[in-house]
Amino acid sequence: MGMKDRLDQMRQRAQDAGKTVVDVGADAARQKRDAAKGFARGKVDAATGFATDRRDAAKDFVGDARSALREGDLEELLKRLPLPSDPVAEHWKWSLGKLVTAGQKPPKGTGMLLGLLDKFGTIDIGPDEVGFDGATAKWHKVKAIRTRSLDGIVQKLSTDGFTDSIQALLPPVPGRGWVSEKATSAIFTLWAMVADLAIRDPEAGRRQVVCEIEYKGWIRTKEAETGYFTGPVMALLPNLDAVFRAEAGRRGVVIEQAEQTAIEVGEARVAWLRERHAAITAKREAARRQIEY
């Protein structure tokens, strides 16, 4: 990539993030000056690793997240989320707290509250360990990884008492209302997206998704299972699901289906999914009205 192209990209990212556009005349002068130093700078960049792929991906995601959240487009944000490498070379973690703050600066004093959300929804995978919702296991202790259909994931999404669960998790301190509203809205939106996908694509509804990790504990076998946040995210990010499967395969971990609950097919299935979608959407709007700042 040439220096001019790199500067164009940097300027575009600044525009997407809502920053003030740099004066065109100043840019032209800077480009001319940089062109004269192009060869020397190219050598410096190569030697210092000025712009690694990972850093660029992170910067791209921040800019994209701002635009996506501003437009309420959570689907676009998920599409641009930098996923772990395959094979997994370093620890990768994504959580409800990170989703809530993607592309925006949270209110002052909400750090502790956002940290508590990690207990409610976290996906971890790395060269040493793997897990969901704060329950992680060393790879050598993992006995099996289980999958569930997308329809099955939708079936487990109970709207009853969900808002109360979020409220009970967060202590009554300043910023609680903001975090509650953001977290509740994000999760209900994820649920609606999963239900909508299952309605639109019957094949996707039957696709198996990693949802459970069985591992050896100190005394007995334990399980790390996807929850309100992690289940929908795994269903909506098939490439992330593929990374989990590939990493398990390389380590000789068995992948099997979790116990399935029968779901009717055809028109009855579609009617059930539409009912679930409507209930999720209605619950999301009711939660928004009930939460007090």
pLDDT 10s digits, 60-90: 444 444 444 444 578 888 888 999 999 999 9
Strands 208-216 and 142-149 come out as: antiparallel
Q: In this predicted structure, what is the pLDDT of residue 279?
A: 81
When pLDDT is cut at 50, 70 and 90, the band that residue 203 belongs to is confident
Instruction: Give the pLDDT confidence of 226-278 residue by residue, as tens digits.
Output: 988 999 999 999 999 999 999 999 999 999 988 766 565 566 777 878 888 88
The answer on pLDDT for 122 being more than 80 is yes
The whole-chain average pLDDT of the chain stands at 76
The answer on pLDDT for 293 being more than 50 is no
Q: In this predicted structure, what is the pLDDT of residue 213?
A: 96
Is it true that the peptide bond before 87 is cis, omega within 30 degrees of 0? Answer: yes
Amino acid symbol at 138: K
For the beta sheet containing 122-125, the strands, ordered from the edge strand earlier in sequence to the opposite edge, are 92-95, 122-125, 129-132, 135-138
Residues facing residue 136 across a β-bridge: 131
From 44, 47, 82, 41, select the one nearest 64 (Cα to Cα).
82
Q: In this predicted structure, what is the pLDDT of residue 28?
A: 41
What share of the chain has pLDDT > 90, as a percent?
31
How buried is residue 247: exposed, middle or buried, by Cβ count under 10 Å (0-12/13-18/19+)? buried
Region 282-288: mean pLDDT is 71
Q: How many CA atoms lie within 13 A of 98 on its CB side?
A: 19
Q: In this predicted structure, what is the pLDDT of residue 291?
A: 55
The answer on pLDDT for 37 being more than 60 is no
Q: In this predicted structure, what is the pLDDT of residue 43?
A: 36
Region 185-198: mean pLDDT is 88
CB 258 within 8 A of CB 153: no
Rounded to two decimals, the pTM is 0.72
Instruction: Give the pLDDT confidence of 130-163 residue by residue, as tens digits.
Output: 999 989 999 999 999 999 988 888 887 766 667 7
Name which of 123-137, 182-196, 211-225, 234-248 the model is least confident about: 182-196
